[in-house]
């Protein structure tokens, strides 16, 4: 009897230690509480009070600023009791301690390990920002990839990623002035002056916010003196920017009237540039009679005679100008080459060098020099437009500027003719006709384009008349343009009659584009068999033609409509060799492989497709890759891609399949987080919420939280009713739980 009492007293003492420790904790007697709690754990490491003790010890160590113990005990609690209701509050407390300590490397590891406990993305952003400031770029990037892609996150990602293509894509995906300014800065850092200029030309000056005026002014100084002047004037009126405005103006004029101490690194850099500028006199030499130099009768020989023994930019620039007029372009460049080293003469040097480079076929370098010379003279803009045409860049806005501002009728005429060609190539046939026949006459190529444009806008008789009068007979090409007009305006019956008549009466081989449209009409009418026969005929008779890959795409689509997914995937793959069709073709090929459950092929196609998608579109392909990895049993890769998809665009579908992946690998806590995220954040979604709610109960059962699971099932029945499919399933789970308890 005495031994039994002794055992009971010992047991009571153990429980008493926990209670005494709790009371001491509540009275803020932390040393006493810690002693009791540690004694309980020493006697029984698996005590039923272990979770409570670890939590109390965490708070005690936190109060005492014992950081090693805070991390140790907090880590134990989060590892062993991840589903405990106090996990989030403990995690948040731990985060605040790490922020206070500025231990951001450690914090990054906690954020990655316990990502399912992170409730505020701002914590991740702050941590990543601090890591960037400490040049821990790889660690910062790994965190940012877990964030929803806000503009702030995109900018931070762009600052740390080494992939230049990804950096460009991130800037392109940021809307408004902010994205354009960062994109221009990126291009300029890479030496892509022309790309930066094209972005600049497409910007609306009045959309630049006050906070970005300084960045905009520095960029506009490279491209346009007027925009630069207006930006600097705006900075003068903006608080805190007057000194920067003064320094920028000095950098432009070479004169710093009032010297003020720089207030930040940017101003220090501007001041250093101002004082280090190298210039040369542009005045006439004092020993020369200026009137004789500027007389109408002077010649290159005379100016060259004056230059002997005198170093004078004034004379050299006159001489170079005369050499250009005389067609001696290389000699002119050699004269001005030394002046490219001086800030106040580089502009003229660039202009002369641009002509030299243009005539030498170096169109990109010539365009760069014209851009950086900042000239707006129509003849130079025309030369820039021509260079852009050779480089395959957009040039119509430059030609339009020439037409609008030039008083030289010959220059205007040349610009208009180029615009006719550009508009025709773009399919802007009405714009071609607006120039009128008088612009096209005396130029056989333009007359053809004018006639084709008449046919393409439905004026077929006038087109035939022009063609016969000025060119001669060419029925098929002209007839095809009229046929394309009928197709575009959805006059399919007229188009079919038009093409069938010409095919029947053809006396020679028909053009490939004509045959393509002949096959296209039944495709658009939904006559699958006829379209299939005609497109295969086109494929065999016109390989390598302009529309060949588009025909393969149509063949693939016809096979897809017939649910012949193997054949459809094959032809989509062939069509993807055309860059203009690549993304659409690969997306469709991926869908075909998905329907065939060929998951390895889904991964192969998706991996290629991901490289060619715009940043804001990558989430869908990233999800498909994650889903394919899941279906093929490659769980680690599935988690990686599905997490990335959720970060890029959190949708209930993406959350659901990530939850399923975690459930499959037995990571119940993370699975529970994503199921609950669907229920909480997408409560109106009837497709995914019921399933996610039900799965929440299942996961809680796996975690042995039977009461919580029962509460979830009861909530389903309450919300959806006993006769609803999910209500019935929830009732079954409750019955099984009750059966197990008996």
Q: What is the pLDDT of residues 488-516, one digit of tens each?
A: 999 999 999 999 999 888 777 888 999 99
Residue 144 and residue 157 in contact, taking contact as beta carbons nearer than 8 Å: yes
Say if residue 135's pLDDT is above 70. Answer: yes
151 phi/psi in degrees, rounded to 5: -60, -40
> Is 650-742 the same fold as 2-209?
yes
Residue 316 and residue 282 in contact, taking contact as beta carbons nearer than 8 Å: no
Measure the N-to-C terminal CA separation of the chain; round to a whole number of Å.
Answer: 35
Predicted TM-score (pTM) above 0.85: no
Say if residue 741's pLDDT is above 80. Answer: no
User: What is the average pLDDT score of the chain?
Assistant: 91
Token match 């393409």: residue?
456
Q: At what angle do helices 30-43 and 50-63 cross, to 10 degrees?
A: 150
Mean pLDDT for the stretch of residues 392-419:
95
Separation of alpha carbons 535 and 521, rounded Å: 11
Q: What is the pLDDT of residues 3-55, one digit of tens each?
A: 444 444 444 444 468 999 999 899 999 888 899 899 999 989 989 899 999 99
Q: What is the pLDDT of residues 148-195, one digit of tens each?
A: 889 999 999 999 999 999 999 999 999 999 999 999 999 999 999 999
Say if residue 294's pLDDT is above 90. Answer: no
Q: Work out the angle at residue 138's Cα, subtended by the Cα atoms of residues 137 and 141, and round it to the nearest 5 degrees.
A: 85
Mean pLDDT for the stretch of residues 91-120:
89
The alpha helices in 459-547, defined as continuous H runs, are 460-470, 475-488, 492-504, 512-525, 528-541
Structure tokens at 341: 């080293």
Q: What is the pLDDT of residues 460-495, one digit of tens each?
A: 999 999 999 988 877 689 999 999 999 999 999 999
pLDDT of residue 115: 86
Q: What is the pLDDT of residues 592-636, one digit of tens each?
A: 999 999 999 999 999 999 999 988 899 999 999 999 999 999 999
Residues 6+ apart with CB under 8 A from 183: 168, 171, 172, 174, 196, 199
> SS3 for 701?
helix
Q: What is the pLDDT of residues 55-83, one digit of tens each?
A: 999 999 998 888 899 999 999 999 888 77
pLDDT of residue 284: 81
Environment class of residue 616 by beta-carbon count within 10 Å: exposed (0-12), middle (13-18) or buried (19+)?
Answer: middle
Q: What is 185-207 written as a DSSP string?
A: HHHHHTT-HHHHHHHHHT--GGG
Q: pLDDT-derived band of residue 101, with 50, 70 and 90 as boundaries?
A: confident
pLDDT of residue 10: 45
Q: What is the pLDDT of residues 656-709, one digit of tens each?
A: 999 999 999 999 989 999 999 999 989 899 999 999 999 999 999 998 889 999
Question: CA-CA distances (angstroms) from residue 444 to 344, 464, 488?
Answer: 47, 15, 27
pLDDT of residue 130: 94
Choose between 300 and 184: higher pLDDT: 184
Domain 2-209, architecture per CATH? Alpha Horseshoe (1.25)
Q: What is the pLDDT of residues 185-242, one digit of tens each?
A: 999 999 999 999 999 999 998 899 999 999 999 999 999 999 999 999 999 999 989 8
Q: Which CATH class is domain 650-742?
A: mainly alpha
Positive or negative: CA dihedral 402, 404, 409, 412: positive
Question: CA-CA distances (angstroms) from residue 322 to 290, 382, 549, 664?
Answer: 17, 21, 53, 81
Domain extents for the chain?
Answer: 2-209, 650-742
Positive or negative: CA dihedral 230, 236, 240, 241: positive
Structure tokens at 452: 């084709």
pLDDT of residue 84: 82
């Amino acid at each position: 009897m005495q031994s039994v009492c002794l055992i009971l007293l010992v047991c009571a003492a153990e429980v008493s230690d926990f209670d005494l420790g709790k009371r001491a904790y509540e009275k803020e007697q932390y040393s006493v509480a810690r002693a009791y709690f540690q004694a309980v754990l020493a006697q029984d490491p698996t005590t039923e009070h272990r979770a409570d003790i670890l939590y109390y010890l965490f708070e005690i160590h936190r109060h005492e600023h014992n950081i090693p113990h805070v991390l140790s005990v907090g880590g134990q609690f989060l590892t062993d009791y991840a589903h405990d209701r106090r996990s989030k509050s403990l995690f948040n407390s731990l985060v605040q301690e790490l922020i206070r300590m500025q231990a951001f490397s450690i914090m990054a590891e906690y954020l990655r390990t316990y990502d399912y406990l992170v409730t505020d993305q701002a914590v991740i952003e702050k941590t990543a920002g601090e890591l960037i400031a400490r040049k821990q770029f790889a660690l910062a990037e790994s965190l940012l990839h877990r964030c929803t892609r806000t503009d702030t996150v995109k900018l931070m990602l762009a600052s740390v990623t080494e992939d230049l293509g990804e950096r460009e894509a991130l800037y392109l995906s940021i809307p408004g002035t902010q994205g354009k300014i960062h994109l221009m800065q990126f291009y300029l850092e890479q030496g892509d002056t022309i790309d930066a200029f094209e972005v600049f030309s497409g910007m609306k000056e009045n959309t630049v916010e006050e906070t970005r005026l300084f960045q905009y002014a520095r960029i506009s100084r490279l491209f346009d003196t007027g925009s630069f002047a207006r930006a600097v004037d705006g900075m003068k009126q903006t608080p805190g920017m007057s000194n920067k405005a003064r320094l920028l103006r000095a950098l432009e004029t070479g004169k710093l009237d009032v010297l003020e101490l720089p207030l930040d690194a940017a101003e220090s850099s501007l001041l250093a540039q101002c004082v280090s500028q190298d210039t040369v006199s542009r005045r006439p030499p004092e020993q020369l009679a200026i009137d004789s130099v500027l007389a109408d009768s002077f010649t290159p020989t005379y100016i060259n005679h004056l230059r002997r023994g005198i170093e004078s930019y004034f004379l050299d620039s006159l001489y170079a100008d005369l050499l250009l007029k005389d067609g001696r372009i290389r000699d002119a460049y050699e004269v001005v080459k030394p002046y490219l080293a001086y800030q106040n003469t580089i502009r003229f040097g660039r202009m002369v060098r641009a002509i030299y480079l243009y005539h030498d076929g170096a169109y990109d370098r010539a365009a760069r020099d014209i851009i950086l010379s900042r000239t707006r003279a129509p003849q130079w803009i025309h030369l820039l437009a021509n260079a852009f045409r050779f480089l395959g860049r957009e040039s119509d806005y430059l030609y339009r500027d020439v037409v609008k501002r030039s008083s030289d009728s010959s220059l205007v005429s040349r610009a208009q003719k180029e615009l006719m060609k550009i508009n025709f190539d773009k399919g802007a046939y009405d714009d071609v006709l607006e120039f009128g026949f008088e612009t096209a006459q005396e130029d056989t190529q333009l007359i053809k384009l004018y006639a084709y444009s008449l046919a393409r806008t439905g004026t077929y008789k006038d087109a035939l008349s022009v063609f016969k009068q000025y060119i001669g007979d060419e029925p098929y090409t002209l007839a095809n343009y009229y046929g394309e007009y009928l197709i575009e305006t959805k006059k399919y019956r007229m188009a079919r009659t038009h093409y069938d008549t010409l095919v029947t009466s053809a006396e020679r081989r028909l053009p490939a584009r004509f045959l393509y449209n002949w096959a296209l009409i039944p495709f658009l009418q939904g006559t699958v068999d006829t379209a299939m026969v005609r497109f295969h005929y086109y494929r065999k008779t016109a390989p390598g033609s302009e529309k060949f890959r588009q025909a393969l795409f149509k063949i693939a689509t016809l096979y897809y409509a017939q649910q012949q997914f193997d054949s459809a995937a094959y032809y989509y793959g062939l069509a993807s060799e055309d860059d203009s069709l690549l993304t659409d073709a690969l997306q469709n090929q991926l869908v075909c492989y998905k329907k065939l459950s060929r998951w390895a092929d889904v991964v192969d196609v998706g991996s290629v497709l991901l490289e060619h998608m715009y940043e804001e579109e990558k989430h869908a392909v990233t999800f498909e890759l994650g889903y394919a990895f899941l279906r093929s049993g490659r769980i680690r890769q599935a988690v990686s891609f599905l997490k990335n998809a959720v970060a890029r665009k959190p949708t209930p579908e993406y959350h659901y399949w990530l939850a399923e992946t975690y459930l499959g690998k037995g990571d119940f806590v993370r699975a529970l987080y994503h199921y609950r995220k669907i229920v909480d954040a997408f409560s109106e979604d009837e497709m995914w919420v019921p399933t996610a709610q039900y799965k929440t109960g299942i996961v809680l059962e796996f975690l042995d939280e039977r009461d919580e699971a029962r509460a979830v099932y009861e909530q389903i029945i309450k919300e959806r009713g006993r006769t609803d499919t999910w209500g019935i399933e929830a009732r079954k789970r409750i019955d099984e739980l009750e059966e197990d308890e008996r």
